Every structure is written in structure tokens, then in C-alpha cells.
Amino acid sequence: MLVTSNPAQAHKHTAIALGNFDGLHRGHQQVIAQILPASCHSLSGKVGHLDDLDRLAPTSPVAIATPLKLTVESNASNGKSNGNHDKPDLIPTVVTFAPHPREFFSGTQRSLLTPLPEKIAILEQMGIAQLVLLPFDEELAQLSAADFIQKILIEQLGVQKISVGHDFGFGHKRQGTVVDLQKIWGDRVCVVPDLQFELPPDFANGSGSGQKVDQLSNLNHPPEAVSPTTRISSSVIRAALDKGEIKLANHLLGRPYALIGAVETGAQLGRKIGFPTANLNLPARKLLPRNGVYAVTVTILERKPTNPAQIYDAVMNIGVRPTVHKTAPVNAAAPDDQNTSNQNIEPEPQGESDPSDRTYSQSAQMQRKVEVHILDWSGDIYGQQLQVNLIDFLRPEQKFPSLDELKAQIAADCEAARQILQNIEAENYLNDCNYLSMVSG
């Protein structure tokens, strides 16, 4: 897949999906699905003109395991149809903005549901041939709607078909609307309505997923998060993750929310107490859900996978880990990289007024740690990439007066995770969350 921040370098004769697409949730999938042909292109896999966007794109390889299993690289193609058409197929292209316009105008960075490498992998899995990241700066912010259409969409991208959400706005002060697009492209503009969803019964009564969904009403925005039916949005998903409502977030995403990162070396304290953990180094701006303990599945990613990915059951802890002292309380993690410099660290506050607008704080993010204990497994995975799929929230982060009580709780967490993961396997949960099935269904 071609990725560029220079639209003049993109392949022309395109069918484009326009939007911000953080999360690539079911609503986004519906917008993007409108531009996917029966046979998709595979363009050059290089990433070009991204020098000013390095903060969005870690250099480590990206692969998404089950239900998304691929790498960023793809084979070059001449871009022609596999059929008997005289003209090449339209090139399915996603056009988005970097940074997000809200970041540009506010001057603050937001945590991301899908950092750039993860977004690239998901889009390529869908069949998108190229991703154009329009640098949102003062020049673009001042560009009129008419100039946006003429200079970017027509002249640089050669747009033949467009798919957008019904409320998409563009140009200076969002003065351009879908009506302006329809004046140029007519019925080749697909206007996708909001995708509504109903809260499943287990969310409505609060079972199986930690806190009750009605606690989302503590947020100032979006208030619709607690209504019987509501639109799927990144804001609702952020709110669900902030409250530990993993099942709800996964339901709206159409796949398990995933954390992908390399395993770091630690002090191996977890190994000493019988519960070795893998400490994950995640992309700096990846949005972390509520602190606490989770039932998860883990896949050890390979640069060039040769065998089907193996999925392991696991327990994950997200939180802040103070130094372990004999006379001091210890938290519920089984940390591998404790050191005495951490003893004064305080947890990141939970339940901000609006997690949909949560800004990225490097210091706060660095204080929070992600540790994974793979059940019934042993081996050396230092330096390897893991994908952790979040399945369910078990309990909030706690502190314990002794290592014995900590060990007992971790054992209980492992047993609880086993039961949950056995049940979701029997219910074919991962297949139900398969990304491509959600697009086609």
C-alpha cells in the first residue's frame, strides 16, 4: 500500500473515502466499504513524504494478527483490472488529515485509538491501495472549499468517486458540505448515514463487563452514549475504554481493541513470584483503557509470518507500579522492571470529564505500564512484537499488604481469565469480531 503526505505523489483515478477515521470502527468501515471494488489494487509499499509526521509513525514493523494478520509491505502492481475492462479500476484511496484538525486548532495532541502503523495495517487488510495523509496546517485550514475540491481532489488525486459521512465538512471553517461534492460528482458521491447500534442486554444490565454502561453518563460528551440506540463514534469508544467497558468497545469497533508493542527487558520480579510478565513498549500516543486487570489473548508477531499465528490466553495489567517494600503495600501487577525511582509515582486520574477529547500527556503515559502474563506458557520473547487483544475487564487496580496476598489475587485473576476466554472461544467470539466479516456483513 502506498502511504504519502503529498497528494501530488499519489496515484490518480481514485475512489476516495474522506474522513479522520481514528479507530476505524464499524461506522468508518461502512464509509470505506463504498469505495472497495471486487478486485483491489496493490500499490508500492513505500511510505513517502512523511518526515514531518514521524511522531505518528514508529519505525518498528507492524503486523496485525488474528483477526487481522498482515504486514505493511505489499507487492507492486500495474494497477490494472483483473477483468476485461478497457479502463483500469478506480484506485481505492483513503484521504485523511494529519494532524487531526482538532489538534491543530487546540495546539494539543490526542491519544489515538489507531496510531498510524496500526491504521495502515487495517486499511491494507480491507483492500485499500493508498493512504493520503493531508498535512493539516495553516495553509490547508485557510483553503476554501472550492479550492480543496479543485486543487486537491480533482487536480492532484483525480477523484472519480467519493464516500463520506453525512456530516462531513471541509474547507475553511468547514464551509464545504456533501452538497458541494454532489454538485461536481453527482451520484458518484456516496453519503453514508450514521451507523446506529443498540446496547446488547449484557451491557444494558451491566453484567460481564465491569462497571455498568450507565456510568458513561458521567461524561459531558457524548450524552447519547447511554441511550438505547446511538451512533457509533470514536468518542463513544473512547468513553467505553475509559470506563473499562471492553465488550462495548469491541462491539463498536467490530474487532477486539488491540495493544501492539515490543517486549522490554525488566527486573524479572514477576518470574521470581511465579508469574512472569512481558512488559510492552507501546506507541507513545496509543490510547490505554482504564487501569486494571484484563482477560486478553496474545499473539507473538513475526516479521514475515510463515505459519498460522498462535493465539495464547493471558492476563494483562495496566497501571502504575510503586516500589515493592516488605512493609509497604504493593499493587496487583507482577512487575518485571521495578526500580526504586518509581516509589512516588501516582496513578493517572481515571474518568476525565471527556475522554473523547483526552489529550496526550507524555509524562502521564510513561508512568502507566502494560504487563502481560501468558497462561500456561514459557519462553523467551524479549524484543519480540506482541499483539494483545482485549477481551474483558476483570477488576480495577488494587494494592495488597503482602506478596502472598498479591500472588493469591494473581492466581484468582488467571482462573477468572481462563473461564472467560474458554467461554468466548466456545461462542466463536473472535470470529464474530473478524474485521472483514463486519465490512461485508
225 and 311 part of one domain: no
Model pLDDT for residues 323-335, shown as the tens digit of each residue:
344 444 444 444 4
Answer for the pair 388, 296: CB distance below 8 angstroms, yes or no. Answer: yes
Quick one: DSSP state of residue 434? Answer: -
Q: Which domain holds residue 414?
A: 258-440
* Share in percent of the chain as helix, strand, coil (round to 5): 35, 25, 45
For the residues 70-75, what does the mean pLDDT come to?
A: 29
How many whole angstroms separate alpha carbon 101 and alpha carbon 20? 9
**The domain that contains 366 carries what CATH number?**
2.40.30.30
How many whole angstroms separate alpha carbon 20 and alpha carbon 102? 10
266 and 412 part of one domain: yes
297 and 383 part of one domain: yes
How many whole angstroms separate alpha carbon 225 and alpha carbon 360? 23
Question: Residue 67: is the preceding peptide bond cis (ω within 30°)?
Answer: yes
Query: Is the pLDDT confidence value at 104 over 80?
Result: yes
For the residues 113-142, what does the mean pLDDT come to?
A: 94
User: If we measure between CA atoms, which residue out of 124, 100, 101, 127 comes closest to residue 113?
Assistant: 100
343 and 291 part of one domain: yes
What is the residue type of 254? Answer: G
243 and 272 part of one domain: no
Q: Which residue has the higher pLDDT, 75 or 227?
A: 227
Q: Which pLDDT belongs to residue 302?
A: 75
182 and 203 part of one domain: no
Question: By mean pLDDT, which of 101-110, 172-181, 279-288 is the weakest?
Answer: 101-110
Across 58-62, 66-70, 275-279, 373-377, the highest mean pLDDT is recorded for: 373-377
Answer for the pair 333, 371: CB distance below 8 angstroms, yes or no. Answer: yes
Classified as helix, coil or strand, 281 is strand
Classified as helix, coil or strand, 18 is strand
246 and 276 part of one domain: no
Q: Which residue has the higher pLDDT, 345 or 124?
A: 124
For the residues 292-298, what does the mean pLDDT come to?
A: 96
Q: Where does a domain end: 142, 159, 192?
A: 192
In whole angstroms, what separates CA 139 from the centre of its chain?
29
Question: By mean pLDDT, which of 7-21, 71-85, 138-152, 264-278 is the weakest?
Answer: 71-85
45 and 170 part of one domain: yes
Query: Is the pLDDT confidence value at 270 over 70?
Result: no
Query: Is the pLDDT confidence value at 223 over 80?
Result: no
Query: Is the pLDDT confidence value at 199 over 90?
Result: no
In sequence order, the 6+-apart residues with CB closer than 8 A to the CB of 250 are 256, 257, 390, 391, 433
How many whole angstroms separate alpha carbon 405 and alpha carbon 78? 62
Q: Which pLDDT belongs to residue 321?
A: 67
Q: What is the mean pLDDT of the chain?
A: 74
User: If we measure between CA atoms, which residue out of 345, 363, 314, 286 comes closest to residue 114?
Assistant: 286
133 and 105 part of one domain: yes
For the residues 353-373, what does the mean pLDDT come to?
A: 63
Question: By mean pLDDT, which of 80-89, 147-156, 195-204, 262-271 is the weakest?
Answer: 80-89
Query: Is the pLDDT confidence value at 42 over 50?
Result: no
Q: Where does a domain end: 192, 209, 234?
A: 192
**The domain that contains 181 carries what CATH number?**
3.40.50.620
Q: Taking the CA atoms of the chain, what radius of gyration do you get in angstroms?
A: 22
How many whole angstroms separate alpha carbon 269 and alpha carbon 337? 7
276 and 379 part of one domain: yes
For the residues 312-321, what does the mean pLDDT come to?
A: 91
Query: Is the pLDDT confidence value at 276 over 90?
Result: no
Q: Which pLDDT belongs to residue 370?
A: 94
Model pLDDT for residues 129-156, shown as the tens digit of each residue:
999 999 999 999 999 999 999 999 999 9
Q: Which helix (H) or strand (E) holds 292?
A: strand 292-301
Residue 136 dihedral angles phi and psi, to the nearest 5°:
-85, 105
- The DSSP annotation for 304-367 comes to S--SPPPEEEEEEEEE--PPP-SSS-EESS--SS--GGGTT--PPPSS-S-GGGPBP-HHHHHH
288 and 211 part of one domain: no
Instruction: Provide the pLDDT confidence category of residue 37 given band limits of 50, 70 and 90.
Output: confident
269 and 211 part of one domain: no
Strand 159-165 and strand 189-192: the pairing is parallel
How many whole angstroms separate alpha carbon 141 and alpha carbon 137? 6
User: If we measure between CA atoms, which residue out of 265, 397, 269 comes closest to residue 340?
Assistant: 269
Residue 311 dihedral angles phi and psi, to the nearest 5°:
-105, 130
Residue 107 has a CB neighbour count (10 Å cut-off) of 7
Q: Which pLDDT belongs to residue 198?
A: 73
Q: Which pLDDT belongs to residue 231?
A: 84
Q: Which pLDDT belongs to residue 63?
A: 38
Q: Which residue has the higher pLDDT, 237 or 38?
A: 237
Model pLDDT for residues 382-415, shown as the tens digit of each residue:
889 999 999 999 999 988 888 889 999 999 999 9
Residue 288 dihedral angles phi and psi, to the nearest 5°:
-95, 140
User: If we measure between CA atoms, which residue out of 35, 163, 5 comes closest to residue 99?
Assistant: 5
Domain count across the chain: 3
Q: Where does a domain end: 155, 177, 192?
A: 192
What is the residue type of 305? Answer: P
Residue 223 has a CB neighbour count (10 Å cut-off) of 11
Query: Is the pLDDT confidence value at 180 over 80?
Result: yes
Residue 274 dihedral angles phi and psi, to the nearest 5°:
95, 5
Q: Which pLDDT belongs to residue 303?
A: 66
For the residues 264-268, what does the mean pLDDT come to?
A: 68
